Amino acid sequence: MTNYLFIESRDPFEHSDVLNIYDLAQALVHEGNHVTLFLIHNGVFPARRSARSEVLTRLANAGVILLADDFSLRERGIRADRLTPEVHPKPLDVVIDHLAGGSKVVWH
């Protein structure tokens, strides 16, 4: 089993190729890997509780760990209590922890 960290900085509703990254993350989980998706910059927008957050719920149900950069959330005025329950706010230190732990990192 391999550990992966996907860092998504783009809004999937502005850039359709983001959905390909989501699909890759889900496929890697189905292959038995551990996958974390860290949302940063405009990538945090689908983390808001809404009909558009369904795509993240699907990933969480597949086994992808969903995190959102707490600074990016604050910059965009998104409070933690407005997030979909599957997304957990975390500091950017998460990336360093994954790098130190040997995770394969994909930044998109």
Position 12 scores a pLDDT of 87
% of residues, the chain, pLDDT over 90: 88
What pTM value is reported for the model? 0.94
User: What's the domain count of the chain?
Assistant: 1
> 35-88: per-residue pLDDT in tens?
999 999 999 999 999 888 899 999 999 999 999 999 999 999 999 999 999 999
Domain enclosing residue 92, as ranges: 3-107
Confidence of residue 16 (pLDDT cuts 50, 70, 90): confident
Position 100 scores a pLDDT of 94
For residue 39, give the CATH number of its domain: 3.40.1260.10
The alpha carbon of residue 92 and the mean position of all alpha carbons in its chain are separated, in whole angstroms, by 12
The vertex-97 CA angle with 94 and 99, nearest 5°, equals: 110
